[in-house]
């Protein structure tokens, strides 16, 4: 899946993946896609909950070994 920006949040503990995700999303325009990579297991619940609260759309999620990947479309 094509994304405009990739955020590497691997190795960061909660709440930093969400903080970095919000900052990265603020730099995108509506309709653009942010790809997020994190190793924090809490992100599997935190990022979708944050995206829902901010009216962004989770397009895809997957796990690649220890890395959780999310593709989020900006509202």
Q: One of 13, 14, 19, 67 is an active-site residue; which one?
A: 14
In angstroms, the CA 52 to CA 39 distance is: 21
| 18 belongs to the catalytic site | no
In angstroms, the CA 20 to CA 8 distance is: 9
> Catalytic amino acids?
14
């Amino acid at each position: 899946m094509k994304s405009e920006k990739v955020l590497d949040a691997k190795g960061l503990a909660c709440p930093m993946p969400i903080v970095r995700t919000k900052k990265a999303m603020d730099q995108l325009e509506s309709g653009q896609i942010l790809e997020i990579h994190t190793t924090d297991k809490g992100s599997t619940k935190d990022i979708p909950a944050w995206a829902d609260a901010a009216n962004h759309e989770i397009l895809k999620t997957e796990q690649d070994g220890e890395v959780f990947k999310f593709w989020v479309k900006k509202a």
